[in-house]
Structures are given as structure tokens and as C-alpha cells.
Amino acid sequence: MQLILHEYILPLAHPFTIARGSLTEQHSLIVELRDGAHRGYGEAPLSDYYDATLERVRTALESARAVVESYPLTDPSALWAATAPLLAQHPFAHSALDCAAHDLWGKKLGQPVHRLWGLDAATAPASSYTIGIDTLDVMIAKLRERPHWPVYKVKVGTPQDLEVVRALRQQTTAPLRVDANCGWSAEEAIGLASTLRDLGVEFIEQPLPPEDIAGQARVFRESALPIIADESCENEADVDACAGRFHGINIKLCKCGGLTPARRMIARARALGLRLMVGCMTESTVGISAAAQIAPLMDFVDLDGAALLAADAATGVRVADGQFHFPDLPGCGVELLPR
């Protein structure tokens, strides 16, 4: 097996702002695994917040090159385990490698990955479309530009949150979700929850910073809306602590280290009675196609990453107006576009 790394700069359709910062382009490292005629792809969307810089992700993958290239790929989860000693501190790198291994595995077997797991793509819930923080007029324009999505996720964490949700509510009858990206206090979360519920908001994602454990316990008890963990649930080790503090968790492949640990998190979260969401970073169809493989196991889906880009890196699973279009192709269905 040959390991090849591709650097991408993916332009966003609009500047994308959340509670902690703004992006106009997304830098990404795409992993290719080549085995004879077959090629599998996985993506690491680079992120300063998660300390997944190009330098760190590339160096981590280079450290695993010898193990990867000598590996007979029969089971992607075995490759994940074999590279864990080298990549445990580098979940974005580990995820890109694991997703590439799954894509390649399915392609070698001639079957889509979700089907090899016994899942039916038709049962995947529709995805939300995310509206980043901006002026009220721009947020309304962003929703009007994408009027056919079945659910919208609104980034909040500013003094205008309620005004924004009220204004967006006037624009659509679709359910809304809000994501504060750690931008609220416990008082704000509890205070806003019942009004948001009355405005047709389904849940609040990550209201508080992960370190505010006591505040989160209060929000869990007193909030009128379910609370979904994102920054508080990065990987497998975080799942148990979310029970009794959150109503559900948002799994992102690059936070947890790939499809292999994501499937274990799903099983554990279900056993604990947690609801499940799959999310993404701003990432291309390479990353989205991998995450889409677990979408049939989810209660909520937020896989609009590629829909936020002005130019994509690949074809694969397409999410259009919130609906999944799985290609009739093996693996995760990823094929890189010519550059």
C-alpha cells in the first residue's frame, strides 16, 4: 500500500463565522492510499482550535508511513489499531488515514462501506444547513439563498441571539437548531432555552465551555431544550462523562480519530441512552462521504461542509438541499476531481 498526501486550499462560498472566529478558506490535507488499481481517500480539515495544523498532521502521517505502507489492508479497524501508538495524539491525521482505509477497503470488496456494515443509506436523516454568525441581514440572506433545506443550524453566541432566531423564524417553517460553540453561560443557556423552544428550536449544541462542568450539570437539569455535546465530546474517552450531563453527542470523525472509533462511540452512546448526531468541519466531499457512511445510525445529521464550499475537491456522497445522494460506487464513493 502506498501513502500519498495532497494539500488543498478550499475556498468558502461565504466567510464562515462562529463564536470563536472566522474563515474564508479551508486548508485541508487529503490522504490517498493506493493499492494496485484501487485508491482510497480521507480528509483532515486543518484547524488551529484543535491544534491540527498542516505541519502537525503531515508530520504525524509521515511517522506512520512505514507501518501503513507495509500493511496488508484486510480490515481498516486493524490498521487503525496498528497506527494508534503513533497517531493517538493526532486524531485529525488518524481520521484521514482511517477514512482512506475504509474507502479503499470497500473499493477492493466492490461494496459501499455502509452496506458492508449492513446499513441502509435510505434511512439516513436529512442534514441541516448551517448559518454562521453575521449581521442579521446577511444571516437572513444566507437562509433565503438555501430555501429548500429541511432544517437549519444557526450559529449563536452574540448579544443578538434571540433577535437572530426570531428573524430567521419569520423566513422558514423548518425546524431550527442552535450551536453556541461554548459562547454562553449556564444562566444564558437556561434563560434562552424555553423561548428558543417556543420558536421551534429542536436542541442547543454546546452552550458552555467544556471546563464548566458544574454549569453544564445545571443546564442539563434546567434547560427546556435537549443539549448536545460537541466540544465536550471529542473522542471515545469523553462519551461516558456525557451521560447525565448532555442529552446527546455530536460525533465528528476528525475529532475522534475516524470511522473505527466513531462506531465504538455510537455503540457506547446508545447503551448510555444518549442521542446521536454526526457533524463535520468545513470539509470537502472527501470527508463528508466518509461521515455519510454512519449517517443511517444517527438521530440528527449536520453534514453540510461541502455545501459551504465554493469549489470541492472530489465527488462522492452529495448532500443537496439536505438530502443524501449516495453514488452507486464502492467504498465511500470518493473520486478526486482533476485540479
Name which of residues 92 to 151 contact Mg ion (CB under 5 A).
none
Q: How many residues bind Mg ion (CB under 5 A)?
A: 3
303, 292 in Cβ contact below 8 A? Answer: yes
Residue 18 backbone phi and psi in degrees, to 5: -125, -175
User: By beta-carbon distance, which residue lies closest to Mg ion?
Assistant: 230
User: Nearer Cβ to Mg ion, position 90 or 252?
Assistant: 252
User: Nearer Cβ to Mg ion, position 181 or 289?
Assistant: 181
299 Rama class: left (phi>0) / alpha (psi -120 to 50) / beta: alpha
User: Nearer Cβ to Mg ion, position 205 or 312?
Assistant: 205
C-beta of 228: minimal distance to Mg ion in Å?
8
Name which of residues 227 to 286 contact Mg ion (CB under 5 A).
230
C-beta of 61: minimal distance to Mg ion in Å?
25
C-beta of 180: minimal distance to Mg ion in Å?
9
- Which x/- pattern over 195-234 shows residues binding Mg ion (rule: CB under 5 A)? ----------x------------------------x----
User: Nearer Cβ to Mg ion, position 156 or 332?
Assistant: 156
- Which x/- pattern over 286-315 shows residues binding Mg ion (rule: CB under 5 A)? ------------------------------
43 lies in the binding site for Mg ion (CB under 5 A): no
Find, among 224, 221, 222, 243, the residue nearest to 232 by Cα: 243
Find, among 231, 219, 297, 227, the residue nearest to 264 by Cα: 297
Cα–Cα distances (Å) from 332 to 39, 106, 141, 249, in that order, read 11, 7, 33, 23
C-beta of 206: minimal distance to Mg ion in Å?
5
User: Nearer Cβ to Mg ion, position 182 or 334?
Assistant: 182
C-beta of 52: minimal distance to Mg ion in Å?
16
Name which of residues 142 to 201 contact Mg ion (CB under 5 A).
179
Collapsed DSSP state (helix, strand, coil) of residue 42: strand
C-beta of 252: minimal distance to Mg ion in Å?
8
8-state DSSP, 309: B
C-beta of 155: minimal distance to Mg ion in Å?
8
Give the whole-angstrom CA distance, residue 113 versus residue 40.
Answer: 12
Specify burial of residue 26 (Cβ count, 10 A radius: 0-12, 13-18, 19+). Answer: buried
The string of DSSP letters for 131-155 reads E-S--HHHHHHHHHHSTT-S-EEEE
User: Nearer Cβ to Mg ion, position 49 or 110?
Assistant: 49
User: Nearer Cβ to Mg ion, position 60 or 186?
Assistant: 186
Residue 288 backbone phi and psi in degrees, to 5: -65, -40
Find, among 18, 14, 16, 4, the residue nearest to 184 by Cα: 18
Give the binding site for Mg ion (CB under 5 A).
179, 205, 230
